[in-house]
Amino acid sequence: MNNILSNHSLHDCEVVSISTDRRKRHVVINLIDHTGTKNIRMTLDGVHKMYCTGLSMQNVILDAQIFMKKEKSEYYDFCQETLGLSNNFFEEHPNLAVLYLEPSVGLELACIFSEISIE
């Protein structure tokens, strides 16, 4: 799952819309690449918790990370605090992962999910 981001550079992509379905625990994030020519669709399924702040008219991604284990990083620390992850979260929930989108401007997002696809 972590390899999915190595196949898709999200740096400088712009988030143009987010769609959520609470009942289906489904989130779709629509992006445009840094050239403004390629549409990208990120789909998260099995969403358990999501934190989203700073949404504005322009939302550009600086960095994207997927965590599948506890790591020493400021991004992970932010996700742990914001989403309320226990120190043993991944041992207790081996089928879940955490996505973090750090903004250059606008949207900051942290999300616990079970499946991701990027097209």
Contact 28, 18 (CB under 8 A): yes
Angle formed at CA 103 by CA 64 and CA 27, multiple of 5 degrees? 60
Looking at the chain, the whole-number percentage of residues with pLDDT higher than 70 is 94
Q: Domains in the chain: how many in total?
A: 1
Q: What's the whole-model pTM score?
A: 0.93
Q: Residues 23-36: pLDDT tens digits?
A: 999 999 999 999 99
Domain range for 42 is: 4-118
Amino acid 9: pLDDT: 83
